[in-house]
Amino acid sequence: MRHCDFGRVLLFTHDWLPAVFLPGLDIVEIEPLHSDAAYSHFVMRQLPAYVRTSHVLLTRWDGFVAHPQAWCDEFLAYDYVGAVWPDQPEHLSVGSGGFSLRSRRFMLAGTDLRIADGHPEDAVLCRQQRHFLEQTHGVSFAPPRLARRFAYARESPKGLTFGFHGPDNLPDVLDEPTLQEWLHRLPDVFFLGDDARRLARALLVRGMATAARQLLQRRQAAGHAESGTRLLGAAASIMGLLSPRAG
Q: With a cut of 70, which residues of the chain have pLDDT below it? A: 16-20, 224-247
Query: How much is the pLDDT for 247?
Result: 34
What are the tens digits of pLDDT across the range 74-93? 999 999 999 999 999 999 99
Whether 106 and 199 map to the same domain: the answer is no
Q: Which domain holds residue 189?
A: 168-246
Query: How much is the pLDDT for 93?
Result: 97
Whether 93 and 50 map to the same domain: the answer is yes
Give yes or no for a contact between 103 and 75, defined as CB atoms under 8 angstroms apart. Answer: no
Residue 143 lies in a domain: yes
Rounded Cα gap, residues 14 and 27, in angstroms:
9
From the CB of residue 200, how many other CB atoms can be counted at a distance below 10 Å?
27
Which amino acid is residue 123, in one-letter code? A
Query: How much is the pLDDT for 245?
Result: 46
Last residue of a domain, one of 119, 142, 165: 165
